[in-house]
Structure 1
Amino acid sequence: MTDMEKGSLPGDVPPNLRFLRVLVTVLTATMIAGLVIVIALLVIRLSPEKTSVPLPDPIRLPAGKTAVAFTRGTGWYAVVTEDQHILIFDSMTGTLRQTVSIESGD
């Protein structure tokens, strides 16, 4: 005898199969929600900051000096030049505070 002859309907599903179907649906929804959260966190973390550190007005280097690096601290900023000097300027006035000569280790 087939299922149709026994009187069971094609839509009838055993309880354990119905439970398995619910588990798969819940797992799918959980995975989709987790993926959306991970993507949202990546977008939030990798987006550029809204506030940027203000750069000083144009820096006037001494004649013959060419900048290769720039850094700043509280109340000062420094420029590293090609001839291995660090020029430290006052961030408020832009005046040269100090010059540090870098000696090579050779």
Structure 2
Amino acid sequence: MIGGVLAVTSLLVIRLRAPTVPLPSEIALPDGARATALTQGETWYAVVTDADEILIFDRLTGEMLQRIEVMTSP
């Protein structure tokens, strides 16, 4: 049991020390867009706007990769 605790602790320390690419200090949104939420993955980040869109950006270049319109019910 002690070995298991040590293994889990070691894995957590190794995983938490893994280098990540930081988010940019500023994100250029299309004109008139206002961010309401942000989420991120290893190679991308996504911004949810007040216009019911999800904008997905490349984490390294900041280039917008995809724009997804969220369809909401009336």
Structure with the larger helix share: 1
CA distance in 2, matches of 1:89, 1:75: 9
Counterpart pick for 1:94 among 57, 62, 68: 62
RMSD: 1.7
Q: Which residue of 1 aligns with 2:35?
A: 67
What TM-score do you get using the length of structure 2 for normalisation? 0.67
Between the two proteins, the alignment pairs up a number of residues equal to 55
Question: 1:7-47 CA deviation, whole Å, 9 max, x = no partner?
Answer: xxxxxxxxxxxxxxxxxxxxxxxxxxxxxxxxxxxxxxxxx
1:92 Cα deviation after fit: 0.4
CA distance in 2, matches of 1:103, 1:62: 19
1:76 Cα deviation after fit: 0.3
CA distance in 1, matches of 2:66, 2:36: 17
Q: Which residue of 2 aligns with 1:19?
A: none
Q: Which residue of 2 aligns with 1:105?
A: 73
Q: Which has the larger radius of gyration?
A: 1
Structure with the larger strand share: 2
Check if 1:57 corresponds to 2:22: no
What TM-score do you get using the length of structure 1 for normalisation? 0.48
Q: Which gives a bigger RCO, structure 1 or 2 (Cα 8 Å, sep 6+)?
A: 2
**Unpaired segments of 5 or more residues in structure 1?**
1-52
Aligned identity (percent) is 46
1:55 Cα deviation after fit: 2.6
